Amino acid sequence: MSQPNAPVQAPTLASYLEQELRLGEPQSHDALTVYPVFSGSPRQPYISFAQGRDQGVVIKELDQGATVNDVLVHNPAAAPVLLFEGEEVLGAQQNRNFDVTALVPAGQRLQVPVSCVEAGRWDGSRSAESFDLSPQASYAELRRYKAMMIRRNLELGGPARANQREVWDRVAAKSARMGVKSPTGAMHDVYEARRGRLHDYVEGLPIAEGQCGSLVAIGGRFVVLDWVSRSEVFASLHGALLQGYALDALEAETSAPVEPPSRDEADAFLALATGARTGERDGIGLGREVRFAEGALVGTGLAVDRELVQVTVHNGEVDQEPTSPRSLAARRIGRPSRRRGA
């Protein structure tokens, strides 16, 4: 008698990696701790928007008429261009940031979903302008919230887009908490008001040679893992991403020293993320979008020919108030064996 076929398990995130991710020695500055992430030699060639500008890569409003939640990317370069989720671009009719990571093919144009992070400006006189590169990416709190909104939308059969009104509300709340008044409600103005303090964080947390990513803790709790497969691409993103982490860290600063998460906790976070079962869907441009959830972790990545080229993992637990011993324990990611025995 034949046995029923065993159910096919979804691949883990680790199955998309050419070599496993490795953590370096942590660095801390006030409330922010960064574990550098390293990996092996990548196969897929690509460049960042920052690298591509000298090769003629431009981002503009749509040719047929500007819309709030889409921009057009023209890539005349010889290599694909990676647009990293949360990257901000400035100018044109209003400042935007990317909703998802996209890989724009060489020699092609691509329409990419974005969110507006400047609620009070819609300047039609600047519709023909190209966007400028921003010195910062969106702060981790906003990126995490957008990732969770997009995941809910997809579960309901909707598109991979954030809710624009909620993005504006989040930026306004951040501005209010940090005491910044912007005439156009621009996220960029919040950074400008704190640029000196943010510079201190950037100076205190330099990039390591060969670093491809960062595992980030704020106020002693892991909040996000950002990684790309090419170290030179990460180097071009590092400063902007770090300023985003630092803006959240400014709100978490206290007069008492903050104990950073241990190496065991960092290893456990990485093991939980890379062991997560994934699902695939068509991406924007080249590659397939890889999404997953494991415990409190929510992640998304981009794979090309089964090779992971980018991944971001958010810790959704940090948005929850600790109201029980179980949730108090969950504020730190423990060893997998300890979690199973809880």
Identify the band that residue 154 occupies on the pLDDT scale cut at 50, 70 and 90: confident
pLDDT digits (tens, 9 = 90+) for 287-309: 999 999 998 999 999 999 999 99
Residue 332 pLDDT exceeds 70: no
Identify the band that residue 165 occupies on the pLDDT scale cut at 50, 70 and 90: very high
* Residue 338: predicted pLDDT: 36
Identify the band that residue 9 occupies on the pLDDT scale cut at 50, 70 and 90: confident
pLDDT digits (tens, 9 = 90+) for 29-74: 999 999 999 998 999 999 999 999 999 999 999 999 999 999 999 9
Residue 6 pLDDT exceeds 60: no
What integer is the mean pLDDT of 22-31? 96
Q: For residue 151, report the phi and psi dihedrals to the nearest 5 degrees.
A: -60, -45
DSSP class per residue in 205-262: SPPPTT--EEEEEETTEEEEEEEES-HHHHHHHHHHHHHHHHHHHHHH--SSPPPPPP
Classify residue 61 by burial, with Cβ atoms within 10 Å: 0-12, 13-18, 19+. buried
pLDDT digits (tens, 9 = 90+) for 68-102: 999 999 999 999 999 999 999 999 999 999 999 99
* Residue 339: predicted pLDDT: 34
- Range 267-277 burial, b when 16+ CB lie within 10 A, else e: bbbbbbbbebe
* Residue 336: predicted pLDDT: 36
Length of the chain: 342
Identify the band that residue 226 occupies on the pLDDT scale cut at 50, 70 and 90: very high
Question: Cβ(244)–Cβ(143) under 8 Å?
Answer: yes
Residue 212 pLDDT exceeds 50: yes
CA angle 113, 244, 69 (to 5 degrees): 15
Identify the band that residue 159 occupies on the pLDDT scale cut at 50, 70 and 90: confident
Q: What is the mean pLDDT of the chain?
A: 90
Q: Express as a percent the part of the chain with pLDDT over 70.
A: 91
Residue 325 pLDDT exceeds 50: no
Name the 3-class secondary structure at 127: coil
Identify the band that residue 229 occupies on the pLDDT scale cut at 50, 70 and 90: very high
Identify the band that residue 342 occupies on the pLDDT scale cut at 50, 70 and 90: very low
Residue 328 pLDDT exceeds 60: no
* Residue 122: predicted pLDDT: 97
Write out the E strands in the chain. Answer: 22-23, 27-29, 32-38, 47-48, 58-60, 70-75, 81-83, 87-90, 96-98, 102-104, 108-116, 132-137, 213-218, 221-228, 278-282, 288-294, 297-304, 307-315
Interatomic CA distance for residues 338 and 342, integer angstroms: 6
Residue 341 pLDDT exceeds 60: no
Residue 8 pLDDT exceeds 90: no
Cβ atoms < 10 Å from Cβ of 32? 25
Q: For residue 76, report the phi and psi dihedrals to the nearest 5 degrees.
A: -85, 0
Cβ atoms < 10 Å from Cβ of 342? 9
* Residue 240: predicted pLDDT: 98
More confident call, 339 vs 218: 218
User: In the beta sheet, which residues pair with residue 294?
Assistant: 297
Residue 333 pLDDT exceeds 90: no
Interatomic CA distance for residues 294 and 281, integer angstroms: 18
Q: For residue 47, report the phi and psi dihedrals to the nearest 5 degrees.
A: -130, 165
What's the one-letter identity of residue 193? Answer: A
